[in-house]
Amino acid sequence: MTRPLLSRIAETLYWIGRYIERADDTARILDVSAHRMLDEPETCRSICATLGILQPEPLSATMMIRRLAYDLDEPASIAASVRAARDSARGVREVISSEAWECLNVTWHQLRRLPTVAPHGYLAFVRERAALFFGLADATMSRDDCWRFIVLGRSLERVDMTTRLLAVHLPGDRRLLLQASGADESFTRTHGAHADHALEFLLLDNLFPRSVLYSLLTAEKCLQALTPARVRAGVADPALAAIGRVRTGLQYTDLAQLQDRVPELLVTLQEACASACEAIGERFFQQREELAWVGA
């Protein structure tokens, strides 16, 4: 039997999953784009757009990396995400495994010393540490609600980041998209050297763990385990319903029309993500509004 989890802790775990996935995804995007940014100022703008940063004037490539990777005052930066994950983990270290906590703590301490390292080394380090954290969580934590909230956060963040990436780079280079998602080799082994099926692969592949469909299915599994079904018909949990609906819509899309339907699909996905997050917050993380006391 799984043990009930404090709402505050569930929320923190969910955000640790999101922060680390965000740091990982941002590092991937920056890494594959770094060399392009030098000769294409457009790339900078689209990356900012991907990460939801409003950018009034164009930034140089160096400035851009500095801001998105190292800058602690930029909330979307890698450094800020890692710090947020580590500070959150510090508040829940009694429920995560000490190895997972130590991983985040060491990552943060080392990251603070790294700003002098060239971007490629820095970004590679972030990706490795993110993989290490999720690996340790997988290897050392029971498959209970603690672990599910971390995975839930990671899956939803992955859907969110991948759809943003696709939305911004839709007209652009397909190879870059694949590289940024770590899907390059996996794709080539499946579809050959031709990048035609890249969108299909990133959105709909059944086997690739970073595809949108795969991430949605993972999130659904977590939510199903978190809220055992008690109703005969329909889905009682609004978060599960939102994700399930958009997942089925995506899964049963006619592949022949995929190319045309992508922009519309991406919008739906973003909306579903947002409403799922909101529903999760209401369902699990609900805290009382203020200190309350009901008398005897």
Per-residue x/- track, 157-196, other proteins (CB under 8 A): ----------------------------------------
DSSP 38: H
CA 191/CA 197 separation, integer angstroms: 7
Cβ proximity to other proteins: between 252 and 293 the closer is 293
Give me the least distance between CB of 216 and other proteins, in Å please: 21
Count interface residues toward other proteins (CB under 8 A): 31
One symbol per residue from 57 to 76: x for binding other proteins (CB under 8 A), - otherwise; what is it?
--------------------
CA gap 85, 101 in Å, rounded: 10
Amino acid at 191: H
- Gap between the Cα atoms of 247 and 218, Å rounded: 11
For residues 106 and 274, which CB has a smaller minimum distance to other proteins in the complex?
A: 106
Decide whether 91 or 209 has the Cβ nearer to other proteins.
Answer: 91
Provide the phi-psi class of 192: left if phi over 0, else alpha when psi is between -120 and 50, else beta. left
Residue number, 14 or 208, with CB nearest to other proteins: 14
CA 296 – CA 11 distance, rounded (Å): 30
x/- site string to other proteins, residues 102 to 131, per CB under 8 A? x--xx--x----------------------
- Residue with Cβ nearer other proteins (55 or 97): 97
40 contacts: CB under 8 Å, gap ≥ 6: none
Identity of the residue, 246 or 280, whose beta carbon is nearer to other proteins in the bound complex? 280
Torsion of CA 213, 217, 219, 220, to 10 degrees: 130
HSE, side-chain direction, 13 A CA sphere, residue 243: 28
**C-alpha to C-alpha distance for 129 and 116, rounded to whole angstroms:** 18
Interactions with other proteins, residue window 226-285 (CB under 8 A): 226, 284
| Listed ranges 8-16, 33-41, 178-186, 188-196: which one lies at the site for other proteins (CB under 8 A) | 8-16
Stretch that binds other proteins, among 51-59, 92-100, 136-144, 254-262 (CB under 8 A): 92-100
CA 196 – CA 86 distance, rounded (Å): 40
Contact status: 8 vs other proteins (CB under 8 A):
yes
Stretch that binds other proteins, among 100-108, 197-205, 249-257, 266-274 (CB under 8 A): 100-108
What binding mask, one character per residue, do residues 138-157 give for other proteins by CB under 8 A, x or -? -------x------------
Quick one: three-class SS letters along 89-133?
Answer: HHHCCCCCCHHHHHHHHHHHHHHHHCCCCCHHHHHHHHHHHHHHH
- Of 57-65, 73-81, 86-94, 163-171, the segment contacting other proteins by CB under 8 A is 86-94
Residue 20 as a binder of other proteins (CB under 8 A): the answer is no
Distance of CA 163 to the CA centre of its chain: 10
Q: Which residues bind other proteins (CB under 8 A)?
A: 4-10, 87, 90-91, 93-95, 98, 101-102, 105-106, 109, 145, 226, 284, 286-288, 291-296
